[in-house]
Amino acid sequence: MCGIVGYVGEREAAPILLDGLARLEYRGYDSVGIAVLEENGRISIHKRVGKLDRLTSRLSGATPSGHQGIGHTRWATHGKPSDINAHPHTDCSGDVVVIHNGIVENHQELKEQLLAAGHKFTSETDTEVIAHLVEDRLAEENDLHQALEQTVQILAGAHAILVMSKNEPGTIVAARAGNAGGVVVGYGHGETYLASDLPALLPHTRRVVFLENGDVVRVTAGRAVYRNTGRAVEKTPQQIAYDPVSAAKGSFKHFMQKEIAEQPEAILNTLRGRALFSEARVELEDLKLSPSQLEAIKRVVLVGMGTSLHAAMIGRQYIERIAGIPAEVENASEMRYREAIIGSDTLFVSLTQSGETVDTLAAMEMAKEKGCLQVVVCNVVGSEATRVADGAIYTRCGPEIGVASTKTYVAAISALYMLACYLGQQRGIVDRERIGGLLSPLARLPYAAGEVVHRSGEYERLAHKFYRCEDFLFLGRGLQYPVAMEGALKLKEVSYIHAEGYPAGEMKHGPIALIDREMPVVALVPQDVLREKMMSNIEQVKAREGIVISVATEGDEEVAGRSDHVMYVPKISDLLAPVLTSISLQLLAYHIAVRRGCDVDQPRNLAKTVTVE
């Protein structure tokens, strides 16, 4: 979850580290810190609770001078956010500095051993044990690379670690153990970069190596030497195609606003070259599933977390309704600890925009052990999930910086729609005519999504009426039930308003007791097969003097007549309506959060990439 950066070369390190941290702040923002090895051989550490701007304003231009350093932006796990608990952490002498992403699961035991051996601790973090362990190993080996390699073997849990020592100037060592998020090595001319994520590297280089599980690397200016389980390994840098401009906010006030607006393009990019409209075919070349593999599929299991889980819930219905294959969906954090009965006849579909969510990766590992065929829908090329899966469908959205997912979610739904068409087509269940019928609304989807986005002003006005409410209920049926869940999640995430998403049929079994004039009920009522049922639910809310905000299909006057407020979305097929109603609820959440003065891009306590349990 935390953001990690490192630099060694000829330039001043501090500005590069601070710029890298600014690009990674979405990963965690409880505290921030940098350590720079100065020319005089001293390690200068500056750290501060809160966001990066608190550190930069304290430095007020007087950044430490030196040509190598490490930096960290934290999402607290052990030890509350504070100046002392901020990374980097040091050993007793202050000669070794460490930054870390992950949880040292046996830190209590290790700390007791280290205390007994005379080490002194200054923070409450689990990370600090790493600095002291490296210190101990260095006393024996005097080789930072080996010291880190040996230390990692003692640590339980998953980790990404960077270490620097004043006794080995010109060197930074880094390790990756398990799925605590990645470490990427970036190759420049006579300089080397390290980061947890690509956005920090791309202004400098596109030649990168992703560390694999068990890798420990020593980087010096322009060079990197890799080892894994005690042996040297050769790695060839790969070239990353990526557009750093799309990671900038431009004229938008927030990344979330920009990313909501980018959704028509995100959908289009996801469809491009895959949905072949004139041929009435779907091509998913990157999947590389053989006819016999496709034939063997008896069921599909979809997993994800957060917003990705909601995309998976929609995908499940696509797989059943379009491809005619039994499908289930489950929260990855639950699936990983269950004795799930899955095997070689199961297609395991994981949804993860980052490709790094720890629970999703664990569920994928389990599915791999059980012999499932695996597909991942992901936005980050080369991420861990794409390496575990047999095939990937990339959502091609460009970087998503807002912590609350928007564009990667609608692109993932579009990808799942194509996957369902593809499975039906390749298994001979869906004929060309039906594929043509399924693709024609898909061709209109980017345009229809754009129409919803263009109505942003209407949501701003609606937000003005409701931003003081403290509870919201979201109701939907069928394909709109996951949308209700997602609408509630978005509102919670960015505005801190308590919100619940329910299948509308469940309303009478409890939530109805909450209905009063204080709690708006958002009803998803597009013109689909379940519209009449939703109309009854609206009546039931109104009969109890509830306030109803409906999201309905353009021209549906009847819904407007029965609701207090109605937000219209363009007419599209039932199957694709969730994309439009979801965008509508994103806009509602965004404008309410802005009106409440919330930090929409970096909501409190959240992180974009959840790499710890």
Among residues 352, 374, 425, 537, the one that binds ligand G6P under rule CB under 6 A: 352
**Of residues 287-346, which lie at the interface with ligand G6P (CB under 6 A)?**
305-308
User: Which residue number, 226 or 318, has a Cβ lying nearer to ligand G6P?
Assistant: 318
| Residue 19, phi then psi, degrees to nearest 5 | -65, -45
Instruction: Give least dist CB 40 to ligand G6P, A.
Output: 42
3-state secondary structure (DSSP) of residue 242: coil
Instruction: Give least dist CB 92 to ligand G6P, A.
Output: 37
Q: Which stretch binds ligand G6P (CB under 6 A): 175-183, 319-327, 349-357, 541-549?
A: 349-357
Which amino acid type is present at position 233?
V
The answer to whether 181 contacts ligand G6P (rule: CB under 6 A) is no
DSSP 383-396: -HHHHHSSEEEE--
Planar angle of CA 71, 73, 77, nearest 5 degrees: 125
Instruction: Give least dist CB 386 to ligand G6P, A.
Output: 12
**Of residues 464-483, which lie at the interface with ligand G6P (CB under 6 A)?**
none
Among residues 267, 483, 610, 612, the one that binds ligand G6P under rule CB under 6 A: 610
Instruction: Write the CA distances from 407 to 26, 259, 385, 414, 421, integer angstroms.
Output: 16, 6, 19, 11, 21
Instruction: Give least dist CB 493 to ligand G6P, A.
Output: 7
Which amino acid type is present at position 58?
R
Instruction: Give least dist CB 310 to ligand G6P, A.
Output: 8
User: Which residue number, 148 or 351, has a Cβ lying nearer to ligand G6P?
Assistant: 351
**Residue 136 neighbours by CB under 8 Å, 6+ apart:** 114, 117
Site string for ligand G6P, 122-141 (x = CB under 6 A): --------------------
Which amino acid type is present at position 470?
E
Task: List, in sequence order, the alpha helices (H) in 155-216.
Answer: none
User: Which residue number, 196 or 352, has a Cβ lying nearer to ligand G6P?
Assistant: 352
User: Which residue number, 66 or 402, has a Cβ lying nearer to ligand G6P?
Assistant: 402
Task: List, in sequence order, the alpha helices (H) in 45-174.
Answer: 52-59, 107-116, 128-141, 144-154
User: Which residue number, 362 or 473, has a Cβ lying nearer to ligand G6P?
Assistant: 362
Q: How many CA atoms lie within 13 A of 419 on its CB side?
A: 38
Q: How many CA atoms lie within 13 A of 280 on its CB side?
A: 9
The answer to whether 354 contacts ligand G6P (rule: CB under 6 A) is yes
**Contacts of range 584-587, beta carbons closer than 8 Å, 24 or more positions apart:** 584/452, 584/459, 584/551, 585/474, 585/483, 585/486, 585/487, 585/490, 585/491, 585/522, 585/551, 586/256, 586/260, 586/406, 586/490, 587/260, 587/452, 587/453, 587/455, 587/456, 587/459
User: Which residue number, 309 or 463, has a Cβ lying nearer to ligand G6P?
Assistant: 309
**Of residues 374-413, which lie at the interface with ligand G6P (CB under 6 A)?**
403-405
Residues in the interface with ligand G6P (CB under 6 A) total 16
The answer to whether 611 contacts ligand G6P (rule: CB under 6 A) is no
Tokens of 301: 């299991």
The answer to whether 357 contacts ligand G6P (rule: CB under 6 A) is yes
The answer to whether 563 contacts ligand G6P (rule: CB under 6 A) is no
Catalytic residues, by residue number, are: 2, 608
Provide the binding-site residues for ligand G6P, judged by CB under 6 A.
Answer: 305-308, 352-354, 357, 360, 403-405, 606, 608-610
